[in-house]
Amino acid sequence: MIRTSHVGSFPFTYKPGIICKIMGELRRIGLDAPPYPQVRDFVEIYLDPFVEAGLLEKRNGFYHADPDSLIGAEPPLPVLREAEEAAECREGFKWLRGPVTGVFTLASKIYWREGLGLENTLLAKKDVVRGFLARYVRRAAEKLVGLGYNIIFFDEPILGVMVGRRRILYGYGEEDIRGLYTNIMKGLPAEKGIHVCGRVSDKLFQLLTSIDELRYINLEFHDSRRNLQVIDPEALERGDKILAPGVASSKRPVVEPVEDIRGLLKEVYVRAGGRIDLVSADCGFGGLSGALPEEDLWGIVLGKLKNIVYAVRGLGENP
């Protein structure tokens, strides 16, 4: 069985009842493994508790911290109201996907000195990344498991920037990334995956397939067709990994025809040697916010996901 899923975000404004409304629509269209709907920014969800705890300062939308003050500090408890609300209206779903913003992506959004380059963020402070931030991300994943989420995905868009074809930026090595995520995922009682959007290098693909605790690799293929070239079925088999492909645009406010989605899905299926599951759009739909009135976006995002469901069902009949 090939399951359908969604990365996480929706282009809607939070208000009472919106989470259960989204879950009800996802149930209606037959999505197998819905995430808790993220209707706030995926970084804000996880960093605003630091501000409330006095560990970060938020100025003009940017987060700032003294890295020395975080070493040895106790991470705050994650505040995941959308996840709690979605868990309460999960009836009818066998699987729930819990998106957790990844440790490297969180680090890339916290500045320790002036200047907007990534070298001025906590990515440059490996002790904070390995310690304080890694403990917080693990704590968030454990909270989601406690709420009943049985698929945990770590969202790491920054990895596509960090890991190039020849080298890894900001002083990290492959073992740093592999070891950190092995420790974060170790013993977590859930299916575990990682999501990276945008272009992905061969080096990053091979690295992800070598992380023992990782099961699913979620990449985008609709708006980044060159990612088809990095798929290595032998590496997937060797690492016992499953590709979770994105096969519809998360950037364009149009609904792709089922046959277009199915055609791309078939190509991914063949290139991955049939090792695919948890099919989704390329990324979350939060980036569509403001593109059209919200009442119009409902039909677009649900239309995309519904056509993904139809395309997967058709693939099972004729791979």
Q: Token pair for residue 45?
A: 């969800």
* 204 in Cβ contact with 226 (< 8 Å): no
DSSP 32-99: SBPBPPB-S-TTHHHHHHHHHTTS-EEETTEEE--HHHHTTPPPPPP--HHHHHHHHT-TT-S--EEE
CATH number of 203's domain: 3.20.20.210
Q: What pTM value is reported for the model?
A: 0.96
DSSP SS3 for 240: coil
The Cα 42–Cα 7 span in angstroms is 11
Residue 298 is encoded by which pair of tokens?
């409902």
Residue 60 counted as domain residue = no
pLDDT at site 72: 86
pLDDT on residue 319? 43
- pLDDT of 316 reads 59
Establish if 6 belongs to a structural domain.
no
Identify the burial level of 313 via C-beta atoms within 10 angstroms of its C-beta, where 0-12 means exposed, 13-18 middle and 19 or more buried. Answer: middle
Q: Say how many domains are in the chain.
A: 1
CB 227 within 8 A of CB 219: yes
Q: Is residue 79 part of a domain?
A: yes
101 bridge partner residues = 155
Tokens 């693990």 -> residue: 138
CA dist list (Å): 146 to 84, 96, 150, 158, 248: 10, 12, 9, 27, 31
Q: Provide the domain limits for residue 283.
A: 18-48+67-110+127-317
What pLDDT, on a 0 to 100 scale, did the predictor assign at position 317? 56
Q: Cβ neighbours of residue 305 under 8 Å, at least 6 residues apart?
A: 4, 6, 26, 29, 31, 281
Q: What is the CA radius of gyration of the chain?
A: 19
Task: Collapse the DSSP code of 111 into the 3-class scheme (helix H, G, I; strand E, B; otherwise coil) and give the result.
Answer: strand
- pLDDT mean for each 10 residues of the chain (319 residues): 97 96 98 98 96 95 95 92 97 98 98 91 96 97 98 98 92 96 98 97 98 97 98 98 98 97 98 98 97 96 98 73
Residue 116 in any domain: the answer is: no
| Nearest in space to 23 (alpha carbons), one of 33, 148, 15 | 33
In a domain, 146, yes or no: yes
Whether 189 is in a domain gets the answer yes
Q: What are phi and psi of 244, to 5 degrees?
A: -110, 95
